[in-house]
Amino acid sequence: MAVTGLVALIGAGMIVAAVNNPAPQPPPQPSAAAAPPATAPLSQGSASESDGAPSRIGLPASAPTTITISRIGVRANILALGVNDDGTVQVPPLEQAMDAGWYKLGVSPGEVGNAAIMGHVDSEKIGPGVFFRLGELLPGDTITVSRADRSEATFRVDGVKSYPKEAFPTALVYGPSDTASLRVITCGGTFDKEKGSYPDNVIVFATLIGSRQA
């Protein structure tokens, strides 16, 4: 299968990914102030190289193990996930809604390219999921990913935006990039009780700004 065809199927996987029941309160949605910058194509990395940000210097490949987002109280294990038989992206099981999932067929967080980490917004079994508060993030917030090689990659949030699932921005999430970038994805919008799913995807766009050995 051609790469472009595979990416299209991968995007479709995130379009249909949703949970079965909402938490007691709706998840926070991105504010207008969190919108990604429109002056540079995010698939090519929107962050500048100021403030010591090595936006075009990546790390060697290494599987991620945990993700920490202090601003919203997240510290979660990361599962390595691929695609289902129908070509859609796998997501963590609902009984593990407090774990995140890394799309292992793409680059690892810290490598040059767009690394993708996804997680549930909520679950019928446990209520709010790992990324319930993802929509609260703002540009300048930081995300830290610990990796199997004992390094820690730190990313700066460039923007947060909600997209209708039927208009999932496949190229911005899974397409090529000349920077070390991260996309963090969950469901969003108002829960549709008839369909048993959320209508949108909340996506955080972030760029590598530093790393260290743990």
Kindly state the average pLDDT of the residues 132-160. 97
Tell me the C-alpha distance between 162 and 63, whole Å. Answer: 27
Residues 68 and 55 sit within 8 Å (Cβ to Cβ): no
Give the Å distances, CA to CA, from 2 to 6, 40, 88, 91, 196: 6, 27, 15, 23, 33
pLDDT tens for 121-143 read 998 888 899 999 999 999 999 99
Residue 163 CB partners (closer than 8 Å, separation 6+): 169, 200, 201, 203
Tell me the C-alpha distance between 103 and 2, whole Å. Answer: 18
Query: Both ends of the chain: CA-CA distance in Å?
Result: 39
Per-residue confidence at 196, pLDDT binned at 50, 70, 90?
A: confident
Domain range annotation of the chain: 3-31+51-213
Residue 17 has pLDDT above 70, yes or no: no
Give the Å distances, CA to CA, from 48 to 32, 55, 179, 203, 208: 21, 7, 10, 20, 11
Tell me the C-alpha distance between 87 and 27, whole Å. Answer: 28
Per-residue confidence at 164, pLDDT binned at 50, 70, 90?
A: very high
pLDDT at 24: 60
Would you identify the CATH topology of the domain 3-31+51-213?
Sortase; Chain: A; (2.40.260)
pTM over 0.75: yes
